[in-house]
Structure 1
């Protein structure tokens, strides 16, 4: 067992310090007791007996309050049961996903399970399945539009990465596409990772239309830091647009703005690969291939399962405090004496 906040035990002498430092209430003078006759003597004996009972009761209350305070401080220190260490996987990837959230990602040219979906929702579904298989990996998320933002740092908590990706919306980072800024932002994150772990997956459906740096110089800077970039161009080659009243349908290329040449160059300069995803099935196969990357060795890490036990001392503390409160207003010794007196009175009546 361990205590999460052991410094709380410094509060143990607090009641004693208060008792020492806070001045006591002034004592009231008692009038002398006169014993002119036997009846008053009997009353005095009863008063002394009651005083002794009250002293016993006070001691018991003090013990209860002391134990209650000690248990309360113990609860504040948060006692925890610590289990045997569980080893975490020592092999895996460190990946950074850079996802385009520009306005064109709202184009509905993808069909997934017989349902037409826009590009971003298709990416969400495929990447979520991809993350569910990333045992032992550490993954981060960068989103970009007019600018690039770190949505989640590199972490083992892949559920949080998946949840935050699912909450991302088109144009959340602006309507344009800052591919160069996304590479620079990812480089800032990845350059502190182990050399073998500097892997970036860049997914976009367009060309660089915003940002402070062009994609190719950004890729050259990433290459100097040993970052390998896998680029994915998403979008169908053709899409049918309905004409007036269902007639005169028109077939267009929704991916005409996709800058494949730049994406290929980015991958080549950094030692990565370029992939083209025209439909959800191709996108899934791309992530399957990325999943086959050589895993890297990571430092041994362990977790210790913990279970909170603070509620046990807290419950006993409240019980003892309540008991002391009841004793203050309910003299146990007097109660016992009354029972004995009642029993004697009943016996005397029976004898008469």
Structure 2
């Protein structure tokens, strides 16, 4: 649909008529003096030099109308598109990037993969389903770092998840800092609900903030923390003496994760496989459904450059036309 953003600009159309009327007498006197000179004039020149000639009047009105049309900002509105609810939830992902995330005890499409690879695959599916919430991501290992600030730009967050690699931020596990930095980010934006999803496969071994202290701060700030312990309970390891069964999640501090979730009104989940991790994401999504209130917007395309382009051509014609006319008249003489 075509419309003008500032249609009131067209109220200025009569201004040109008023200016012409009040200056008409002065222009007539100047034209008479010019016509009485001894310089040779062709009929075309005389027509152009007349202040009220139809050609000049048409040119002035065309330029004036094009100026007002550009000033009124013509736009083309595309079809209505469903937007986002800016008063929705703030959901922050705090992801463990320690060296233990390299353990290949997860299955993805029938193949053994490391924990980070499985996490990235399922995390992207969860993010895709949260369009409309403000999402962000924190990475923690030796310390916690903000990878993606809270934003409605889900596509940028998906790119960030794709680029996660082992050893990006260290080898140890700073759970307390992962929570503390999350609280700081969530408190910078007003929201109906603030959610922190903490994913780890170990225990707190680094950082300047104790996890329990960070959880107490989260509870005071009304931040709900869902903790997820990642890693299988059984893993068959190949050795020189054959295959032996080990527990790759023996360092997982489940008691700590349960306490953090309980203090903040969240819940602790145990993800021993990719199927369990996928079910956990679905349950968290069900506990925190998307808000039904939606905003709508219409893509808007500016068209003011069209009247401006035509205006430029007319101005060039007004400047070049008299020069060409004088040149032709001289050649004719």
Name the TM-score, length of structure 1 as normaliser: 0.69
1:107 matched to which residue of 2? 103
From 29, 34, 48, give the equivalent of 1:56.
48
Does 2:290 align with 1:287? no
Gaps of 5+ in 2: 10-36
Alignment of 1:33-44 (within 5 A): none
* 1:20-169 equivalence runs, <5 A: 47-50=39-42, 53=45, 56=48, 80-81=75-76, 88=83, 92-169=88-165
From 307, 313, 329, give the equivalent of 1:313: 307
Residue 149 of structure 1: CA displacement?
2.1
Secondary structure in 2 aligned to 1:105? helix
* Aligned-CA RMSD value: 3.9
State the Cα distance separating 1:274 from its structure 2 match: 0.7
Distance 1:248 1:240 in 2: 10
Deviates more, 1:275-284 or 1:119-128: 119-128
Q: Post-superposition shift, 1:282? A: 0.7
| Pick aligned residue for 1:267 from 250, 261, 270 | 261
Corresponding position of 1:346 = none
1:199 is paired with a residue whose SS is strand
Sort the Cα spacing of 1:126 and 1:77 in 2 relative to 1 into closer, same or farther, 3 A.
Answer: farther
The one-character-per-residue Cα deviations of 1:298-348 (angstroms, maximum 9, x if unpaired) are 98755343112133134324433554565366338948x97xx9xxxxxxx
Give 3-state SS (helix, strand or coil) of 1:159's partner: helix
Confirm or deny: 8 A CA contact 2:130 2:290 kept in the other structure. no
Distance (Å, rounded) in 2 between the aligned partners of 1:332 and 1:117 = 83
**Residue 201 of structure 1, CA deviation:** 0.6
1:221 to 2:224 alignment: no
1:219 offset after TM fit, Å?
0.8
Residue of structure 1 equivalent to 2:5: 2
Q: 1:223 and 1:315, CA in 2 relative to 1: closer, same or farther beyond 3 A?
A: same
Are the aligned partners of 1:231 and 1:273 in contact in 2 as well (CA < 8 Å)? Answer: yes
Q: 1:210 to 1:74 in 2, by over 3 A?
A: farther
SS at match of 1:291: helix
Distance in 2 (alpha carbons) for counterparts of 1:169 and 1:237: 24
TM-score, normalised to structure 2, is 0.72
**Cα distance in 2, alignment partners of residues 331 and 266 from structure 1:** 87
Single out whichever of 89-98 and 105-114 deviates more from structure 2: 89-98
Structure 1 109/65 Cα, relative in aligned 2: closer, same or farther at 3 Å? farther
CA deviation vs aligned residue, 1:74-118 (integer Å, no higher than 9, x gap)? 869975445797664658543111111222222222221123322
Distance change in 2, residues 1:68/1:291 (3 Å): same
CA contact (8 A) 1:236 1:278 kept: yes
User: Secondary structure at the residue paired with 1:183?
Assistant: helix
Counterpart secondary structure, 1:210: coil
The total of aligned residue pairs comes to: 296
* 1:183-332 superposed matches below 5 A: 183-193=179-189, 196-243=192-239, 248-295=242-289, 301-320=295-314, 323-324=317-318, 327=321, 330-331=324-325
Is residue 5–residue 72 contact of structure 2 (8 Å, CA) maintained in 1? no
Q: What is the alpha-carbon distance in structure 2 between the residues aligned to residue 76 and residue 150 of structure 1?
A: 44
